[in-house]
């Protein structure tokens, strides 16, 4: 990757603050910094709590997508799942209604402010809404201990789960819960143990997961993610990090280049945004999103521009992360 000079990055940088339809990951507004490179618009949007060393990997991904042509696509549409935040059961139909045609739902569980009983009620509501033919997967974001995960899996197994994503935080815990619940035949997926790990291949080498969830931005870009997929030798799903449609386009190009795509991907999350940077957002249509670049609308960039304080914060972060990459 040839890194553009800082002044080139700053020349097109736009910081936006987009409201969410419902609270997600503890936030009500998603902030992102958009850049325009020779290949098109790209996104730098690591979550605010991430340290610069981790955020710099996201900048490498943004530069890769904006300054290099993506790999040749193997498909032009990506089937996607609905994403159900930690909402109450009565809100589930409205959330699913924002994902037209999606046959799969990823349900958030194990939130620190929620109980297992609330998780069970939410998953039951999703299963009722999707019917017996729908696919239901759970995402715990590493929120359970091994014992808590085992109890939860037993309680939720009756809802015919497609897989359980990151039930525990560490690779060792994933291996243990996978062994304890093997008889239930519910695959274990690794997400944070790939994208937030010093060695993203460690979980595969330890036999701690049945599949990997890969995200372009946290892994340093499309090419780096494809290298991990090839070396891991496990089935993969491609997901996003609550990106704007510009960032989702990067994820869609990654999904388009993965040799095998057995799962509906987590790339429909623009439906969780109450606003976007384009009048043609990458939201699901008939259960899929197209593989295409996204060009922001100048009017929307102005309308949802972050305030001066937050813009300064993001530009300073961009400068620090660029220095880390060049160093």
Active site residues: 108, 215
Q: Is 297 annotated as a binding residue?
A: no
Give the three-state DSSP class for 211. strand
Could you write out the DSSP letters of every residue in 46-110?
Answer: --TTS-HHHHHHHHHHHHHHHHSPPPPPS-SEEEB-EEE-S--GGGHHHHHTTSTT--EEEEE--
Q: What is the dihedral of CA 93, 94, 100, 106, to 10 degrees?
A: -70
Q: Exposed e or buried b for every residue in 92-125, given b needs 16+ CB within 10 A?
A: beebbebbeebbbbbbbbbbeebeeebbbebbbb
The two three-digit tokens of residue 307, written as one number: 């305030």
**Dihedral pair phi/psi, residue 29, rounded to 5°:** -135, 135
Q: Is 191 annotated as a binding residue?
A: yes
Q: Is 49 annotated as a binding residue?
A: no
Half-sphere exposure of 188 (CA within 13 A, CB side): 33
Q: Which residues are annotated as a binding site?
A: 139, 165, 191
- Give binding residues for Mg(2+) as ranges: 139, 165, 191
């Amino acid at each position: 990757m040839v890194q553009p000079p800082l002044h080139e990055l700053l020349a097109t940088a736009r910081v936006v603050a987009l409201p969410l339809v419902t609270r997600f990951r503890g936030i009500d507004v998603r902030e992102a910094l958009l850049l325009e490179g020779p290949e098109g618009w790209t996104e730098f949007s690591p979550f605010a709590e991430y340290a610069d060393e981790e955020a710099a990997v996201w900048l490498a991904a943004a530069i890769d997508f904006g300054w290099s042509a993506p790999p040749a696509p193997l498909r032009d549409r990506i089937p996607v799942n609905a994403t159900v935040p930690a909402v109450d059961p009565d809100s589930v139909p409205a959330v699913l209604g924002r994902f037209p045609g999606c046959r799969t739902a990823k349900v958030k569980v194990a939130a620190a402010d929620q109980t297992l009983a609330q998780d069970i009620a939410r998953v039951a509501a999703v299963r009722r809404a999707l019917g017996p033919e729908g696919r239901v997967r759970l995402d715990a974001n590493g929120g359970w201990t091994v014992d808590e995960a085992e109890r939860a899996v037993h309680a939720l197994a009756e809802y015919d789960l497609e897989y359980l994503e990151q039930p525990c935080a560490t690779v060792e815990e994933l291996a243990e819960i996978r062994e304890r619940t093997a008889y239930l035949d519910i695959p274990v997926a690794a997400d944070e143990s790939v994208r937030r790990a010093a060695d993203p291949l460690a979980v595969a080498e330890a036999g701690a997961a049945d599949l990997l969830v890969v995200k372009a931005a946290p892994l340093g870009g499309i090419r780096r993610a494809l290298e991990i997929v090839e070396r891991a030798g496990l089935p993969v799903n491609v997901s996003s990090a609550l990106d704007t449609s510009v960032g989702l386009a990067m994820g869609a190009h990654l999904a388009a280049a993965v040799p095998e795509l057995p799962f509906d991907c987590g790339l429909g999350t623009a439906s969780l945004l109450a606003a976007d940077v384009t009048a043609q957002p990458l939201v699901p249509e008939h259960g899929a999103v197209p593989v295409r670049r996204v060009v922001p609308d100048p009017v929307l960039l102005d309308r949802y521009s972050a305030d001066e304080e937050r813009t300064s914060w993001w530009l300073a972060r961009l400068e620090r992360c660029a220095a880390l990459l060049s160093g």
